[in-house]
A and B are shown apart, each in its own frame.
Chain A
């Protein structure tokens, strides 16, 4: 059976639709509809345990938010964590990528070790760290005693200051492999000619880094930056398993408050409005990242 070109294009378009249809159904049910419903719920009072239906209350949730100590603590923690975690993630993964790039031969072990944590279930790693950091029988305190630094032993996760740092460290432990991959593949795609030309011009060591590698990575910085921002703002597993937001509110993050409000207190309306704030933060930070990298170009 022969078809004209127009008919053939029509048939292809139809198959195109059919091929994406199942995906569309899943995404509509589990993304589009939920996003619309969250936006609506954020303007409602809705306790899932007691109320039959959400009642519309306008922007009350949003104004209440700024009187809520838990929320304010979570907001400031999230921002502080984001600043520290983001900078450490970028710096460390760039450093790892440069080291791996420098070491071309026999790097299988190093590469595997650095990348491996991304495939390990994060919650189980946190569990592992909680007992490595335990006061009495944790191996980290034990190690400090054995090397004669017993005055530095600490109940790491019950002290607000150290608990915060450990949340950041463990989160980075699990994530840095991915950004290292991104940076490494960015560096590897810089053309060899450029390196050779630079070497002839006398650029070695640090000069090569600042004049050749970093300027050529702007695209990678955008991708990695947005990825890292998302990871920082969406931080949940590490504080949830390591510290449950404690001690006090020291490691309480926005994601955790959303979880607490929605699934412990069943305040679906209020939780939705906090989720809305978090989503807005994600958008704003990604845009800032995009703008800044564009300007550098």
Chain B
């Protein structure tokens, strides 16, 4: 017997969901609309919709305001490198934890889990001192390496979870065919772990893209700041909401687009990672 939903319950459900969704979506839409307004309109009379659509703010960000492009580029460099390194490290370590057990590998795995619980604040003070002494404060490498902490543990769990589900027979037959361990990993196992790699890539991307605390601490020079930190500091000197809105819009569109594309696998992966972790 097919279950029939009571119409009232169905309407109430949809209505509550609609209200909730609007609360999440409207601020973003407001930001996007503001970015198309001229500054006079923003200050004189705030409305949700622009009276006149204008590209003047984007013109400022891309053509005249070179510093915005610098921030944007910094974000891209830091994000791409951190995610690329994480893909490499986590697919190696995840494979090791899943298929190549060694003495102490369980303890090591548990201690990586422990890392997740540590507040960054406790770690950032020594990192700051260390990077100061090494002279890598305010450099890309000095920002990329600490960002790995943010995404590496989770990624290792995702990769391990995937590799552990792959059958042992694959390994054995590869071995019979004369593959050594790295060859098996590269030619046989990694292609089968594509879904997990996508999850690591996407979740790593948006974590680093929007990262604030690390960059706020370790990037004090304008020329190296990612957009997530730089814009919050601009506020007082560039009191131009239209330009800010355009810059914000430009930096929230990439993660939202990627999320919309990969939503299903990402949501599953995040849930699985959190439960296994």
User: By the criterion CB–CB under 8 Å, are A275 and B96 in contact?
Assistant: no
Classify the interface of chain A: helix, strand, loop or mixed. helix
Residues in B with CB closer than 8 Å to A177 are 24
User: By the criterion CB–CB under 8 Å, are A99 and B117 in contact?
Assistant: no
**Cα distance, A245 to B248, chains bound together (Å):** 23
- Among A100, A127, A227, A276, the residue within 8 A (CB) of B232 is A127
**Cα distance, A276 to B125, chains bound together (Å):** 11
- Among B20, B148, B216, B270, the residue within 8 A (CB) of A26 is B148
**Cα distance, A48 to B129, chains bound together (Å):** 8
Over the window 30-51 of chain B, the binary record of Cβ atoms lying under 8 Å from chain A Cβ atoms (1 yes, 0 no) is 1100000000001100111000
**Cα distance, A153 to B244, chains bound together (Å):** 25
Residues in A with CB closer than 8 Å to B248 are 124, 127-128
> At the interface, yes or no: A11 with Cβ under 8 Å from chain B?
yes
User: By the criterion CB–CB under 8 Å, are B46 and A138 in contact?
Assistant: yes
**Cα distance, A56 to B25, chains bound together (Å):** 52
User: By the criterion CB–CB under 8 Å, are B152 and A103 in contact?
Assistant: no
**Cα distance, A279 to B122, chains bound together (Å):** 7
- Among B23, B27, B212, the residue within 8 A (CB) of A123 is B212
User: By the criterion CB–CB under 8 Å, are B252 and A121 in contact?
Assistant: yes
Q: Closest Cβ of chain B: how far from A94's Cβ, in Å? A: 13
Over the window 112-133 of chain A, the binary record of Cβ atoms lying under 8 Å from chain B Cβ atoms (1 yes, 0 no) is 1111111111111111111110
- Among B120, B128, B244, the residue within 8 A (CB) of A234 is B120
> At the interface, yes or no: A22 with Cβ under 8 Å from chain B?
yes
Stretch in A33-41, A58-66, A79-87, A155-163 touching the partner: A33-41
Residues in B with CB closer than 8 Å to A113 are 20-22, 24-25
**Cα distance, A259 to B212, chains bound together (Å):** 13
Residues in B with CB closer than 8 Å to A107 are 17
* Chain B 59-75 interface residues, beta-carbon cutoff 8 Å to A: none
User: By the criterion CB–CB under 8 Å, are B181 and A99 in contact?
Assistant: no
User: By the criterion CB–CB under 8 Å, are A31 and B115 in contact?
Assistant: yes
> At the interface, yes or no: A154 with Cβ under 8 Å from chain B?
no
- Contacts A128-B248, A182-B274 known; A22 to B100 CB distance under 8 Å? no
User: By the criterion CB–CB under 8 Å, are A119 and B149 in contact?
Assistant: no
Task: Write the chain A residue with the least CB distance to B268.
Answer: A185
Number of interface residues of B (CB under 8 A): 96
Residues in B with CB closer than 8 Å to A227 are 274
Interface centre among B20, B146, B156, B255, by most A CB within 10 Å?
A: B20
**Cα distance, A268 to B127, chains bound together (Å):** 11
* Chain B 175-212 interface residues, beta-carbon cutoff 8 Å to A: 175, 181-182, 185, 206, 209-210, 212
* Chain A 126-151 interface residues, beta-carbon cutoff 8 Å to B: 126-132, 137-139, 142
User: By the criterion CB–CB under 8 Å, are B244 and A127 in contact?
Assistant: yes
Residues in B with CB closer than 8 Å to A259 are 121, 216-217
Task: Write the chain A residue with the least CB distance to B105.
Answer: A16
> At the interface, yes or no: B92 with Cβ under 8 Å from chain A?
yes
**Cα distance, A100 to B24, chains bound together (Å):** 15
- Contacts A127-B231, A181-B270 known; A96 to B117 CB distance under 8 Å? no
Q: Closest Cβ of chain A: how far from B249's Cβ, in Å? A: 9
Residues of A within 8 A of B (CB): 8, 11-17, 19-20, 22-24, 26-27, 29-31, 33-35, 37-38, 41, 48, 96, 99-100, 102-103, 107, 109-132, 137-139, 142, 173, 177-178, 181-182, 184-185, 199, 205, 219-220, 223, 226-227, 230, 233-234, 236-237, 240-241, 255, 258-259, 262-263, 268, 271-272, 275-276, 278-279, 282-283, 286
Could you name 21 residue pairs across A and B whose Cβ atoms are closer than 8 Å? A13-B103, A14-B102, A19-B93, A20-B92, A20-B93, A20-B108, A34-B122, A35-B118, A35-B126, A41-B126, A110-B21, A114-B20, A114-B21, A115-B263, A121-B228, A173-B23, A182-B274, A223-B274, A227-B274, A255-B121, A259-B217
